[in-house]
Structure 1
């Protein structure tokens, strides 16, 4: 049985285009296979921005942590455990001001931990999160794919690869604030259907 982690971060919740894409993906997948789905909405259940106090808690020996440090370390531990426990990671990704939502960045800041999800060697950083397949369902108001200002795609490939998740695919729904938005969504949904069928 495939275990799937779905991460959403649209400010518009269920009405967000990226959330609609993840819902389509999950619907297609559950029709095809027996799967266990874990859903995490990073907008409605936002993680606070990372602080030095929280990072210091990670670096304190578990046996020496204060109650506050134990609670802070548990946030990252839970998210990393959830990530490691799933085979397929489905990311609903809106674009805000050419970048990722800050709530998703807060998630990245918790799952990228030296010695746990990556390590430094003489050859540089090595990711420790292995055997994951990632699909990013990207919803955008304009059309940016393949252009110099699509920094979102490069960032996600780089940061996910940094912790070991190098098998990353993107399905785009672009121009959603422009004429032809409905056709763009329909094309993305058809690409999702093809992607799921090939899994």
Structure 2
């Protein structure tokens, strides 16, 4: 059975283009995979930034953590467990100021844990989250995906690959400010052509 993890990041709520795109992606996947399950993690309200307390908490053995460490590590572990349990990640990527939303960057930071999502070897880093697919729904007002001012899509693709997720597809409603209706229609058509 296919398990889908949907990651929402837009602060625009129902007006969000990236949410419209992830709605369509998830609908397409669930229609094509009988019995598929979906977990949604909405990061819009914010994700705590990692800091020294986080590092101390997640790298302290569970049985030796203080109550504060257990709370910090528990939240981070829940994010990690959701990704490990997923077969497909559907990630909303609205481009804010040419980059990722801060809450999406913080989510990635929580996942970047040696021994959990990657290891270093003599030949370089090796991602540990194998055999997963990611579909990223990118939206932007003025930034063209893949252009020299797009610091979001390349970073996200790199980090997913660093974690071992190399089957990554993007659907883009980029440069919405110029022709929003045609741009959204084109992105929806890209979704409809995705291999489910």
TM-score with structure 1 setting the length = 0.94
1:140 corresponds in structure 2 to 140
CA distance in 1 between counterparts of 2:142 and 2:90 reads 22
On the 8 A contact 1:88/1:134 being kept in 2, the answer is yes
Unpaired runs of at least 5, structure 2:
none
The yes-or-no answer on 1:19 pairing with 2:52 is no
- Provide, for residues 33-92 of structure 1, a one-character-per-residue CA deviation record: whole Å limited to 9, x for no partner: 221011111003x21111110111112122211111111111111111110111000011
CA distance in 2 between counterparts of 1:170 and 1:64 reads 42
Tell me how far 1:143 sits from its aligned partner: 4.1
Tell me how far 1:29 sits from its aligned partner: 2.3
Moved over 6 A (4+): none
Kindly tell me the number of residue pairs found equivalent between the two proteins. 195
What is the aligned-residue RMSD (CA, Å)? 1.2
CA distance in 1 between counterparts of 2:57 and 2:25 reads 37
2:78 corresponds in structure 1 to 78
On the 8 A contact 1:75/1:110 being kept in 2, the answer is no
Residues 29 and 61 of structure 1: is their aligned pair in 2 closer, same or farther, counting only changes over 3 Å? closer
1:166 corresponds in structure 2 to 166
Report the secondary structure of 1:60's partner residue. Answer: coil
Report the secondary structure of 1:188's partner residue. Answer: helix
CA distance in 2 between counterparts of 1:121 and 1:49 reads 28
On the 8 A contact 1:95/1:140 being kept in 2, the answer is yes
On the 8 A contact 2:95/2:143 being kept in 1, the answer is no
CA distance in 2 between counterparts of 1:130 and 1:30 reads 22
TM-score with structure 2 setting the length = 0.95
